[in-house]
Amino acid sequence: MKKLINDLQKVGEEKVVKELEGVVLGAGKEVDNLAKPIRESLLKRYPTLFTLLVTFGVVATFLGIEQLFLKIHFLERHPEVILLIGVAILAFTGRLYKKLN
C-alpha cells in the first residue's frame, strides 16, 4: 500500500513539475516578446554604449584570465609556455573546425 501511495505521489509530482515548467517557459517567452522592441530600440539609440560595454566585457575577461595565469608561478616565470598552449589550442580548434565542416 505504501508503495502505491509513493508511486501516486511521484506521478503527481511529475505532473506538477511539468505544469510549472510549461508556465515558466511560457512566461519567459512572454517577457521576451515584450522586451524585444525595447531591447532593439535601445540598441539602435545607444550603439556606442553597447559597443563600449562589449569592449569592457572582453577586456575584463582577458584581464581576469591573465591574472589567473599570473597566480601560477611557473607560468609567470615562463610566458612562452602560455604562448605554446594558446597556439596549440588554436591549432586543435582549427583542425576540429575543418573536420566538422
State pLDDT tens for residues 26-83: 888 887 787 777 767 777 788 898 899 999 999 999 999 989 988 999 988 998 999 9
Task: List, as one string, the DSSP characters of the chain.
Answer: -HHHHHHHHHHHHHHHHHHHHHHHHHHHHHHHHHHHHHHHHHHHH-HHHHHHHHHHHHHHHHHHHHHHHHHSHHHHH-HHHHHHHHHHHHHHHHHHHHHH-
What's residue 11's pLDDT? 65
Q: Spell out the domain ranges in the chain.
A: 1-45, 47-101
